Structure 1
């Protein structure tokens, strides 16, 4: 099956309120480079036809400065973000036209590898979806009333991004949904009755949400750059 055109939508609308930092997490620097730049560079290492960055309007001036310094020669389409992740992705998808494949990725996952991105495009071309995931390492218990119940961790996965889909499939899913209960694209697509195909992610592909995550990302990125 042909891949068609490759699109990528990078969602960078977060304010980073859990970081206790005035700088939004996607703009925090690791070894002198903004988190967002690491993420974009990973996508620029693979064959992507259109790279779309979704961000809040009030971050635009900061972005212009970053692009001038770090990515002056690259074409990146900027799209206004929404109040929620759902709205931001939907805004980004307005600039995506099939046939082809589109990857949705969190800007705050700077450790993503080009290998994983490529694998997601290739798998989505076959299965119409490819969602990065990793197996649980720890035992888990589910809260049930006043007690907790042990669950078989082999039946559960941690979901990451990129989450990559056939363009028509994802756009139709977004066009016919509201955003009340969906925290990621895979959940939305599954709610429409479509099978979600999981691919193997990797544990270093963390989302920066807390100060501890930032420390881990710095460690992982320093190893990759060594």
Structure 2
């Protein structure tokens, strides 16, 4: 099996949460959100290496969390950049051998080991795995000239992480110059001329962005305990 590396991007400030603490360090059932994220990857693959991308002012917070988990030998910590692209590139620059690389939002703390393993299997075969779920709401496209119009929501997919790639594809893609259109790793890889492949995601794999998301996450964790 190929070497596995996860680049966990947790460089944001969490302004939409209305708190001063970056949201990746907010507590969920008395543990930081980031703890759940890291733990899911270790449950998926005990031999995985992790590159943790954090705000420069919170590198020590990350070191303390990793030490509490007893994973100091398996985690490298690097400061984030100006944009998501630059933060991920700081992680990509630490890749030193052929591997399957997961790029995951640190605040998608409910990601499951099963989804992580599924992404690994597909990326090993096809080169990439981009988890998506179908849109459930009605969708409209806004045009500054013609107003707005409805589109078929069955054609719309909502993108999640971990976006997973063979390392050579990711390294090559992140050697190109930054573009404003780079909203995630899939767009970066596609801009370099490489086709990416979708995989079924998980509706519970939500990104903690607003205070209500913490309540939803608590509910999902409680539901999982009952299984």
Contact between 1:29 and 1:35, CA under 8 Å: does it hold in 2? yes
Indicate whether 1:41 and 2:39 are aligned. yes
Distance 1:184 1:221 in 2: 27
> TM-score under structure 2 normalisation?
0.93
Structure 1 residues 14 and 156 mapped into 2: Cα distance closer, same or farther (>3 Å)?
same
Runs of 4+ in 1 over 4 A off after TM superposition: none
**For residue 177 of structure 2, what is the aligned residue in structure 1?**
177
Post-superposition shift, 1:196?
1.2
Post-superposition shift, 1:97?
2.6
Contact between 1:87 and 1:179, CA under 8 Å: does it hold in 2? no
Indicate whether 1:201 and 2:178 are aligned. no
Contact between 1:11 and 1:54, CA under 8 Å: does it hold in 2? yes
Contact between 2:204 and 2:220, CA under 8 Å: does it hold in 1? yes
Distance 1:37 1:8 in 2: 14
Alignment of 1:122-201 (within 5 A): 122-144=121-143, 145-201=145-201
**For residue 107 of structure 1, what is the aligned residue in structure 2?**
106
Alignment match of 1:27 (pick from 25, 28, 36) = 25
Q: Which moved more, 1:127-136 or 1:92-101?
A: 92-101
Contact between 1:102 and 1:166, CA under 8 Å: does it hold in 2? yes
Over the residues paired in the alignment, what is the CA RMSD in angstroms? Answer: 1.4
Paired residues in the alignment total: 223
Contact between 1:97 and 1:167, CA under 8 Å: does it hold in 2? no
Distance 1:186 1:59 in 2: 27
Indicate whether 1:76 and 2:75 are aligned. yes
Determine helix, strand or coil for the equivalent of 2:35.
Answer: helix
Contact between 2:59 and 2:79, CA under 8 Å: does it hold in 1? no
> TM-score under structure 1 normalisation?
0.94
Deviation by residue 1:95-138 (Cα, 9 ceiling, x = unmatched): 11332210000001000000000100110011101001001111
Structure 1 residues 73 and 150 mapped into 2: Cα distance closer, same or farther (>3 Å)?
closer
Determine helix, strand or coil for the equivalent of 1:219.
Answer: helix
Unaligned runs of 5+ in 2: none
